[in-house]
Structure formats: C-alpha cells, structure tokens
Chain A
Amino acid sequence: MAMQDTSRSSTDHQPVVHTAWSRFWQNDAPGYLFLLPWLIGFLGLTIGPMATSLYLSFTDFDLLTSPDWVGADNYIRMFSNDPKFWTSMRVTMFFVVFSVPLKLAFALAVAMLLNRGIRGLPLYRALFYLPSLLGASVAIAILWRQIFAGDGLINKLLAMVGIIGPSWISNPNYSLWTLIVLSIWQFGSPMIIFLAGLRQIPTDMYEAASLDGASKWRQFVKITLPLLTPVVFFNAIIQTIEAFKSFTPAFIISGGTGNPINSTLFYTLYLYQEAFSFFRMGYASALAWVLLALVGLFTAFSFFTSKYWVHYDE
C-alpha cells in the first residue's frame, strides 16, 4: 500500500498529492472510516460525558434548573457530612472483600477437581457454568428473595434438621450475606478461566516433582499456584470491578431501598437514589467520580503489586 502510494505520487506531477489532506485520504482514511462508529461513540458517549460529569460534580445540578458552581462542596459534604455515603461505602467494601475471594476460591477448587481428568467433564463444567449465565437476571434476584425469606426454601430445609432459621433477607445481620452467597453461586465463569489456565501447565513439571517425592499439596503450592498467578490476577481484577458495579440483585432484593437499615445499600444503589429519586445530579456525579477513583486506585494498586506475586514466563 505504502509502496504503491509513493510510486504514484512521484510519477504524478500534481502538487496536491503531497498535501497532508491527500496523504490522509490515501493512507489513513480507510482505517478511520471503519473506526467511525466507535469514534463517534467514544467522543459522544464516553469522553464528552466524562468531562461533563466531572464538571457537574462541582455543581448543584438538579436536572430541571441550570447547574450552579458550588466548588468542592459535594466532595466535602460526602466525606464530612453524609453518613449514608460511608454506610454505602462500607457495604460495598464488605461485599467486595468477602464475595470476590470466596468466589475465586470456589472457582479454583472446583477447577482443580475437574482438571484431574475425570469422566463427564463437559457436563459438570456446563452445569457449574449455568448459574453464572442466568445469575444476573432479575428473575434470579426474585428467586433469591424467596429462598432466603422467613418462610423460604432455606428455612424449610433447615427445619428438616430441626433448625429454625431467621428471616435472612429482613435481618440486617444476614441480608448482605445473602447477596454474597448469590455472587459465590456464580463461580462458573472464573472456574472456566481457571480450567483453561490449568491446562497450560506442562505435566512434566508434576512428573519431575513427584519423582522428587513432593506431596500433592506441595505440588499445588510450589507449581500450580505460582504458574496460575496470571490467571488469578486476571480473575481478581475482573471480578472486583464487577463487584464494585453490582446493582440489580441489591435493588430487587431490597425493593430499591437498600434496607433493612441500609445493610444492602450498595454504593451504586445509593448513587442511583441520589440521581434518579432525589435528582441531586451534581452530587451523584461526584459520587460517580469517587467510584472511578476507587476502581482506578484498586486497579493501579493491583498492577503495582503484581510484579511481586504474579509469575510471568519470559
């Protein structure tokens, strides 16, 4: 392509060929034409709105009247004078800190079992994956609300062994845990990624290790885990970002309130309430930027620490 162009421009004696515009038209235009839809979306739906929302976060925008500049008031209020902000932060952190490691532990444990060359692997893998595929649906959140209700399925099963369970959903000590269990239940997709990672580990490493008399546990700690760290790292990042963004289950199970006593008030739910129930759009924009900062900090921190624990082949 490049060669054709230069030969053409040297034989043609028209000076226009050398202008920046015609060079663009010959070399770059096809690429930009194919990229055009994405480019419009990126500028109009991502970059533009990002800049706008950063601006709005310094205003008192309420959707109906034009925004007035309030400086850093929204951020100051958030950190110094908004207990609900801190509640939602605590709920979200609790959810992330417990759901992600537990989900990944389950995913890895089941992947290890499945990777032993057992019969019926495709069937097991499909069955364990099904909840991941269905789990984000409103229907599943409705089901969960029933399962963990006072007269729900869990308590029916507990009653068979003589335990009288509480109403998990409406008890603030347990309500968040029902959401954590829902998240763990969907361990299927990280499990599939772990399985793909385990397949990459050369079997001769295990053979050499067992010839040296290394136990199964030592093989796991010294071979499997180090070689799997890139996959663990990848899964941890994806699942953590997803957990920060989680919205639907908490909304459906609490009927949009985050109750009982704000025990399921996810950060995203609080942001939604501020923006679309109270129309405090300026404040909600500030909440969104704090969320972005949080996710960004977490990602940066993970990448920074990864060189100490993630093992990459040269």
Chain B
Amino acid sequence: MSNAARLTVVTGAAAPGRKRLTSILIHVALIGASIAMLYPLLWLLAASVRPENEIFSSASIIPSSFSLDAYFRGWNGLRTGFGVFFTNSFIISGLSVVGNVLACSMAAYAFARLEFKYKNFWFAMMLMTLMLPYQVTLIPQYVLFRQLGWVNTFLPLVVPKFLAADGFFIFLMVQFFRGLPKELDEAAQMDGCSPWRIYWKIIIPLSMPVLATAAIFTFIWTWDDFFGPLIYLSEMKSYTVMLGLRTFTDSTGESDFGGLFAMSVLSLVPIFLFFLFFQRLLIEGIATTGMKR
C-alpha cells in the first residue's frame, strides 16, 4: 500500500483521475491473468463431471449437465482400485512427514544449538547436498535397496526421510531455530536440563510454524513424487496414486477420458486442501527461505 501512495504524495504529478484509471487497468490485467491461469484447472474439473461426449467438443468450463459417473468409473477403472492407491499414497506420505520432521529437526537442532567438533564441515556438506542432482546417487541406491530386498515395498521411499535425506528442510529449520532466544537454552541448562530435554520441551514446542511448514511441504512433495515410486514399485497393489494415473493413461485412458480426469481431480484434492487451509504458512515459507515451488 504505502509504496504507491507515498510516491504519488511526493511527486504530486499524477492526477487523481489518471491514478484511478491506472489502478483499474492493473486490476483488469490481473483478473485476466488469473482467469487465463486457472482456466485449465477449471476445465479439468468441468471435464470430470460433464457428459463424456462433451469433453472433446466443449471449451467451456460450465458443463451442460452434472454427473459423478466418471468418478465411480475411474475409481474402479483399473484391475486394482484407486482406493488401494490412495491408501498407499497416504501411508507413504504420512510416514515421510513423521520421518522428515523428526530427523531434520534433530539435525537442525545440532547445527543451530549444539557445539561439536567438525560442525562447520558437516554443515558445509549438508549445504552441498542441496545442489546435488539425485541422478548421481540413484543407481547405487537402487542396487543397495534391491540387495536389501526392499524393492516393491515402501521402505526405499520412506527410510531416507527418517535419515533426513532432504537437506533443504534441515536448512529451513536451522534458520528458524537460530532465531529463538538463546537464553531459554542457557536457563534450562542451568537447571540441569539435558540437550534432549531442551530439544523436546523447549525448541520443538516453540517451532510449530516451521515444523508445520516442513510437514506440509514434505507431504505435498511425497504425494506428488513420481520418479521414486516409478522405480521402486512395480506391483500394482503397491502403486501410489501418481503411478495409478500413469497406468490409467497407458491402458484405459484412451477410451475413458472422463474417468481419467475424475481421478486426476481426486489426486489434486489433498494438495488443494493444504493450499486452502495453510496458504499463509506455505507462502511465508517460500518468501522467507526461497522454496523451489
């Protein structure tokens, strides 16, 4: 608000009428851009509830009639139902959230609050992993998990989260923990609190915003992940929603677009709910730390 307002006060050049016109033009441009950006999403939603023959004949986002048939068809459109895929996705994402928040907050606490030998070296190593393309570790990891007999289980997707494999979240939490007043730890330490108690009773309760941000992004990224499940899960009963969708496009998708779009919409619902209820947290998370998406 203040930027533009103060500017015009100082310059005094823009006449009130002209300023009003500029403001209207900006809103028109922004509304137009919003509609253009959201149109594909609205069209997808419409395509999932409109009559099948209308999907390819209409560019409108208002269906001529409304039916949930495609959802029932799509839900059981493959040999294994989408109920199984959704359950799998929820299990994998849920466990990932627990693992990531726990392991990353522990590492972040060590980096932000404790002193130990070679700390700076390890911290630099952690930052290095942020830039590392996953392809470089992909094949040996695959061989390792295969030898452990973990292929076709959820373990290759979940265990790395319990080992804080995504350094980004450690970095996010280190930034937050460093902002907490150090006097709290010192006072607790005087009272004989162990580092573990300080972590669990002071740091964790005070860090709910950053932990929630990390939890939500972990959930969304794991939910969306396609590459990991593609490599490690080959039996349909262990498929995630993303793999189910991909199989749908390969097999029945060409004949049942309604069902495919209905399942696509369903797969976006959990992410959309997070957006709806936690967008403040998500946007702040991005603004303060520069999240990639």
Contact = CB atoms under 8 A, between A and B. Distances in A.
A136 B59 contact: no
Nearest to B289: A193
A290 B189 CA distance: 49
Contact of A276 (B6, B34, B231): B231
Contacts of B220: 133
B230 to A, nearest CB: 8
Interface in B30-51: 30, 33-34, 37-38, 40-41, 43-44, 47
A110 interface: yes
A49 B26 contact: no
Interface string B184-208: 0000010000111001000000000
A173 to B, nearest CB: 22
Contact of A139 (B117, B144, B250, B264): B264
A234 interface: yes
Interface in B236-279: 242, 245-246, 249-250, 253, 257, 260-261, 263-265, 267-268, 271-272, 275, 279
A34 B195 contact: yes
A115 interface: yes
Given A110-B33, A210-B7, A118 B2 contact: no
Contacts, number: 285
Contact of B116 (A27, A61, A239, A292): A27
Given A118-B23, A193-B287, A134 B59 contact: no
Contacts of B136: 49-50, 53, 288-289, 291-292
Interface string B206-243: 00000000000000110010110011000000000010
A39 B122 contact: yes
Nearest to A115: B3
Contacts of B44: 139, 143
B287 A255 contact: no
Contacts of A245: 133-135
A252 B249 contact: yes
B106 A118 contact: no
Interface stretch (A71-79, A149-157, A305-313): A149-157
Could you tell me the dominant secondary structure of chain B's interface residues?
Answer: helix
Contacts of B37: 127-128, 130-131, 185
Contacts of A189: 286, 291-293
Interface string A122-151: 001111111111111111101111110001
Contact of A137 (B29, B56, B242, B275): B242
B58 interface: yes
A193 B7 contact: no
A48 B283 contact: no
B21 interface: no
A129 B283 contact: yes
Contact of B164 (A41, A63, A129, A206): A41
B30 A132 contact: no
A278 B13 CA distance: 68
A185 B37 CA distance: 7
A299 interface: yes
A292 B267 CA distance: 32
A22 interface: no
B10 A207 contact: yes
B23 to A, nearest CB: 7
Contacts of B170: 38
A210 B134 CA distance: 49
A46 B33 CA distance: 42
Interface stretch (B64-72, B75-83, B107-115): B107-115
A157 to B, nearest CB: 5
Nearest to B37: A131
Given A113-B26, A118-B26, A28 B133 contact: no
Contacts of B30: 110, 113-114, 118, 124
Contact of A130 (B7, B41, B129, B164): B41
Nearest to A147: B40
B242 A151 contact: no
A156 B58 contact: yes
A132 to B, nearest CB: 5
Output the residue of B33, B194, B199 with the most chain A CB within 10 A.
Answer: B33
A234 B290 CA distance: 8
A28 B27 CA distance: 58
Return the 4 tightest CB-CB contacts between A and B, nearest first: A41-B163, A31-B116, A156-B59, A49-B140
Interface of A: 1, 24, 27-32, 34-42, 44-46, 48-50, 52-53, 56, 61, 63, 110, 113-120, 124-140, 142-147, 151, 153, 156-157, 160, 185-186, 189, 192-193, 195-196, 203, 206-207, 210-211, 234-235, 238-239, 241-242, 244-245, 247-248, 251-252, 255, 268, 271-272, 275-276, 281, 284-285, 287-289, 291-292, 295-296, 299
17 contacts: A35-B106, A38-B107, A38-B170, A41-B163, A45-B141, A49-B137, A49-B138, A114-B30, A125-B283, A129-B282, A130-B38, A134-B272, A139-B245, A139-B265, A143-B261, A153-B59, A252-B226
